[in-house]
């Protein structure tokens, strides 16, 4: 196998109008997955409108209103090529920009990594979990959480 055989597949779907650097975010997703030991994996990333994420938020989380990022893990089964299918990260850039209007690109990096880490089983409900997850987010996104 060559090195290119050990790169995650990152599938991007952009269904909204705000400018997004898809190539840079796909590369960040790939680097995060490789760093977390998931080189032979596939990830779907969707950039959606506030209306679309609000619909997903109420349908799957039973919470009203739009949110900035949602993660939908799959069972992680391998496809016919031995690639582990991780799931979907859904981001609403127009909601994300309200979190960090001064640097929306940084916010998108943070949300993408945050969503990926949730797919990989990380959480931030407890203080020790949060500290570990925030450290990982900062390592990959370059963004420090307060």
pLDDT, position 76: 73
pLDDT category of residue 5 using cuts at 50, 70 and 90:
low
Can you tell me which residue has the tokens 């050990």? 6
Mean of pLDDT values over 57-80: 92
Say if residues 49 and 18 touch (Cβ distance below 8 Å).
no
Q: Is residue 37 part of a domain?
A: yes
**CA–CA separation, 38 vs 8, rounded Å?**
7
Residue 120 located in a structural domain: yes
In a domain, 146, yes or no: no
| Residue 20, domain member (yes or no) | yes
Contacts (Cβ under 8 Å, ≥6 apart) of 9: 41, 42, 43, 83
Give backbone dihedrals phi and psi of 45, rounded to 5 degrees, phi first. -125, 125
The answer to the question of residue 64 being in a domain is yes
What pTM, to 2 d.p., does this model score? Answer: 0.93
Task: Encode pLDDT of 11-66 as tens digits.
Answer: 999 999 999 999 999 999 999 999 999 999 999 999 999 999 999 999 999 999 99
Give me the domain span that covers residue 82.
Answer: 3-141
The residue behind tokens 């998108």 is 108
- How far is it, in rounded angstroms, from Cα 89 to Cα 70? 6
63 within domain boundaries: yes
CATH for 42: 3.40.390.30
Domain-located, residue 11: yes
Look at residue 73 and tell me if it is in a domain: yes
Structural domains of the chain, count = 1
| Average pLDDT rounded to a whole number, residues 93-103 | 95
Q: Mean pLDDT across the stretch 60-82?
A: 91
């Amino acid at each position: 196998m060559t090195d290119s055989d050990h790169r995650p597949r990152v599938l991007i779907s952009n269904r909204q109008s705000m400018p997004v650097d898809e190539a840079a975010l796909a590369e960040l997703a790939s680097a995060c997955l490789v760093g977390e030991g998931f080189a032979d994996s596939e990830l779907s990333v969707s950039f959606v409108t506030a209306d679309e994420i609000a619909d997903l938020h109420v349908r799957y989380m039973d919470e009203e209103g739009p949110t900035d990022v949602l993660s939908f893990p799959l069972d992680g089964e391998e496809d016919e090529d031995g690639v582990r299918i991780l799931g979907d990260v859904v981001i609403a850039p127009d909601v994300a920009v309200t979190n960090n209007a001064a640097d929306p690109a940084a916010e998108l990096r943070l949300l993408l990594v945050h969503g990926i880490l949730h797919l990989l089983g990380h959480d931030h409900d407890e203080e020790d979990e949060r500290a570990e997850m925030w450290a990982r987010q900062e390592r990959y996104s370059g963004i420090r959480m307060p």
